[in-house]
Amino acid sequence: MIQKCLSNSNYTNEVIMFNAKNLFLYVLSLFLPFALIAKEVPREKTVIVGSRGITAKEVWSPYLLGGNHQKGVSFFYEPLYFADNLNGHEYPWLAESHSYNDDATRLTYTIRKGVFWSDGQEFDASDVAFSLKKLSELGSDVRLGGNYKTFIKDVELLSATKVVIHFHAPAPRFHDEVIAQKGDSGFFVVPEHVWSSVDWPQYTNYNDGSGPVTTSPWRLNYSDENRRVLDRVDSCDDYWGCKTGFINLPEPERYIWLRMEDDTSMASAVIKNEIDQTHDLRVELIQQAIEKNEFVTTWSGREKGPYGLVSWWPSSLYVNNRDKHLSKANVRWAISKFIDRDKVNDFAFANNGQVSRYPWPAFKGLSDITASVDSLGVNTNEYNPSDAEKLLTEAGYTKKRGFWVDASGNKITCNIVAFGIFSDIGPVIAQTLVNAGIESSYSEPPDAIDQLTTGKYNCSIFGHNGSQTGSIYTTLSMYTTDNSQNRWGYSNSAYDEIVTKIATSANQNEIKDLTNQAMKIWLSDLPDIPLTEFFNRFAISEKYWTNWPTMTTDPYMNGLHLHTGMAYTLFKLKARN
């Protein structure tokens, strides 16, 4: 009976379930599979993290439809390069070096020797070539595959350690934007001998609990929707890095990811040192945690803000350009000038936020571009209500009974729909607009995302999945007509033309020039109203582990556990005592 329960995962199992006589046995049998590996690892050798978001227990492939690489998955896919765009670090890992040819149509990687997979097979450039080639064939059929198909013409395996990528057109940003593993994106190499015979969009890599074949020192112990447990290999010889002397085994012997949806429990848990790292928390919660527990610290340390690191997702007030009033640039600029961003920062983040001028993050790799766009002299953060009023009057609006209306008496509306993470600034922005005479409100309806993607919204608050380093092409392309990310409904053919030119240019000066031209148009239109940088504010407990990357110690990597840099961080953590 129990064997039958264990082996059948189709509906016969459920039929049995409802037979009262067997209910008890069924319940018992649910626990049996878990009795497989119950190795005891002490708390001091375990790293425990908590975050929101639920993922099915079988999701262990980033290419799976519905897949996800956060929550431990990325650990199993060691990258060619680890990268940290906030401060411009890059760490070669499975690759030793890379180089472009002169016109950026060929990219060559030199792969490290001595790497092997967990099933004993050797790892070499053929795995890299296979992965790249397959991705370029599958394209959007798999998650994350789009870019490969768009750019890659062919992949050439030169030797066991050299692989060359041929592009359709010059792609100087391919290494930074696609290959280097940073934050939430990167190239995940897979073993050819396993993946050549599976269906990529369906393959979970869960392998009935034994987890992925990997080069990393991690093995899957347990996985369900609420927790994931990864164990480190025991001996140095089981991991290529240690065996070849490249790097020592990570000190943590176990990594546990916990699902915690509730901010309060997460904060309480870190205060009691039950978890070592949290997900994003509100400023005052972090301050509470710091106050109540001497071991708690953050990216900016214990003493002062902003308690987090800038993420690549700057937030802005999304205005639907298709709306009757919001389609006018004057109205959009007026809205922007009505918002006192410093006050918002004060109110929402107790002054621990950072205003953002442009829809790309304040990363080191983009500082040149930011400086060059700054030279155009347009301040998107300006708080100037009288200017705003002038703009509205120019566009034919008058103020009646406290609200701005057009000639037919219709009020300008900007009702904001958003979700959870913007609860801080949402109501504040809405109130500001109401005070200025624009009808506004803030709500979090369950269909907010739906409204946003189908263009049915009035206003919203959201981030930008754009460029992170090198050039702002990706961000710029988000505003081109009919781009799938263009949720604002913005359309300007002159702008589109310039952006298309940037895509195919390999000349740095030309790109810089074109970028400024495009931004000039963008700035005068302001299809999107920049608000603040998005911070990843998480709390860390140093009771058991030290040497976390922080601004005050050594910001060697983006330390949030959801991001791909966590695998790197684990190598650097040191046990307290």
Partner 1 sequence: MNIVYYIRRIFLFIIVIITAISLNFFLPRWTGQDPVQQKIVQLEIESGGGGGEKSELIESYRKKFGLDKSLADQYLTYVISTLKLDFGYSISLYPSKVADLIGRALPWTLGLLTVSTLISFLVGSLVGAYLTWSRGRKILESIIPILFVFSAIPFYLLGLVLIWLFAFELSWFPLFGGYRPTTIPDNSLKFFLEVLEHSILPAFSIILAQSGFWALGMRSMMVTTKGEDYMTLAEAKGLHSKRIFFNYGVRNAILPQVTALALSLSHIISGAILVEIVFSYPGIGSLLYQGIKAFDYFIIQGVVFILVISIAFSMLLIDLIYPLIDPRVKISNL
Partner 2 sequence: MLGLGILLISSLVWFAFYLVVDFNHAQALSFRPSQPPSMDHWLGTDRMGKDVLTSIVIGTPQTIQIGVVAGGIGIVLGVILGFMAGFFGGIIDYVIKFIVDVFQSIPPLVVLIIFAISIPGDMTILQLSLIVGVTSWLGPTRVLRSQVLVMKELNYVSLSRFSGLPSWKIIFMEILPNLLPYVMANFVMTVAGAILASIGIEALGLGAFSSNSLGMTIYWNIWYSSLLQGWWWWWSPPILIIILVFVSLYLISQGLDEWANPRLKTKF
Q: Which of 264, 454, 481, 508 binds partner 2 (CB under 8 A)?
A: 264
Q: Which stretch binds partner 2 (CB under 8 A): 16-24, 230-238, 445-453, 480-488?
A: 445-453
Looking at the Cβ atoms of 268 and 441, the one nearer to partner 1 is: 268
Cα end-to-end span (Å), the chain: 50
Q: Which stretch binds partner 1 (CB under 8 A): 164-172, 178-186, 339-347, 516-524?
A: 178-186
* SS3 at position 323: coil
Considering CB distances under 5 to 8 angstroms, the limit depending on partner class, which of partner 2, partner 1, none binds residue 234?
Answer: none
Structure tokens at 389: 């009023």
* Distance, CA of 361 to CA of 345 (rounded, Å): 17
Looking at the Cβ atoms of 115 and 267, the one nearer to partner 2 is: 267
Q: Which of 431, 483, 491, 547 binds partner 2 (CB under 8 A)?
A: 431
Structure tokens at 358: 């442009």
* Residue among 130, 1, 146 at smallest CA distance from 63: 146
For residue 523, state whether it binds partner 1 (rule: CB under 8 A). no
Smallest gap from Cβ 443 to partner 1, in A, equals 16
For residue 465, state whether it binds partner 2 (rule: CB under 8 A). no
Q: Which of 85, 381, 432, 517 binds partner 2 (CB under 8 A)?
A: 432
Smallest gap from Cβ 240 to partner 1, in A, equals 27
Cβ contact 319:330 at 8 Å: no
Structure tokens at 53: 């978001």
Q: Which 336-395 positions form the footprint of partner 1 (CB under 8 A)?
A: none
Cβ contact 427:417 at 8 Å: no
* Distance, CA of 364 to CA of 495 (rounded, Å): 26
For residue 144, state whether it binds partner 1 (rule: CB under 8 A). yes
Looking at the Cβ atoms of 139 and 427, the one nearer to partner 2 is: 427
Smallest gap from Cβ 334 to partner 2, in A, equals 19
Q: Which of 32, 158, 160, 376 binds partner 1 (CB under 8 A)?
A: 32
**Phi, psi for residue 515 in degrees, rounded to 5:** -60, -45
Residues across the chain: 577
- Letters for 21-60 (x = contact with partner 2 by CB under 8 A, - = none) are ----------------------------------------
Q: Which 409-438 positions form the footprint of partner 1 (CB under 8 A)?
A: none
Structure tokens at 147: 């870019």
- Letters for 81-120 (x = contact with partner 1 by CB under 8 A, - = none) are ----------------------------------------
Signed CA dihedral, 375, 380, 382, 387: sign only: positive
Structure tokens at 248: 């020592």
Helix (H) or strand (E) holding 459: strand 459-462
Structure tokens at 403: 């609200």
Considering CB distances under 5 to 8 angstroms, the limit depending on partner class, which of partner 2, partner 1, none binds residue 18?
Answer: partner 1
Q: Which of 116, 166, 173, 201 binds partner 1 (CB under 8 A)?
A: 201
For residue 476, state whether it binds partner 1 (rule: CB under 8 A). no
Looking at the Cβ atoms of 295 and 338, the one nearer to partner 1 is: 295
Considering CB distances under 5 to 8 angstroms, the limit depending on partner class, which of partner 1, partner 2, none binds residue 431?
Answer: partner 2
Smallest gap from Cβ 48 to partner 1, in A, equals 6
* Distance, CA of 448 to CA of 444 (rounded, Å): 7
Considering CB distances under 5 to 8 angstroms, the limit depending on partner class, which of partner 1, partner 2, none binds residue 2?
Answer: none
User: Within 10 Å of residue 577's Cβ, how many Cβ atoms?
Assistant: 6
Q: Is 101 left (phi over 0), alpha (psi -120 to 50) or beta?
A: beta
Q: Which of 261, 284, 294, 510 binds partner 2 (CB under 8 A)?
A: 284
Which residue is it, tokens 């319940």? 27
For residue 467, state whether it binds partner 1 (rule: CB under 8 A). no
Smallest gap from Cβ 241 to partner 1, in A, equals 26
Residue 263, Cβ density class (10 Å: 0-12 exposed, 13-18 middle, ≥19 buried): middle
* Distance, CA of 232 to CA of 225 (rounded, Å): 21
* Distance, CA of 473 to CA of 380 (rounded, Å): 20
Considering CB distances under 5 to 8 angstroms, the limit depending on partner class, which of partner 1, partner 2, none binds residue 444?
Answer: partner 2
Q: Which residues of 368-391 are buried (b: 16+ CB within 10 A; e: fewer)?
A: ebbeebeeeebebbebbeeebbeb
Q: Which of 49, 256, 260, 285 binds partner 2 (CB under 8 A)?
A: 285
Signed CA dihedral, 62, 64, 70, 71: sign only: negative
For residue 261, state whether it binds partner 2 (rule: CB under 8 A). no
Which residue is it, tokens 């700054």? 374
Residues that contact partner 2, how many (by CB under 8 A): 27
Helices (H), 234-314: 240-243, 263-271, 283-292
Interface residue list for partner 2 (CB under 8 A): 263-264, 267-268, 282, 284-285, 288, 347, 415, 417, 423, 427-428, 430-432, 434-435, 441-447, 451
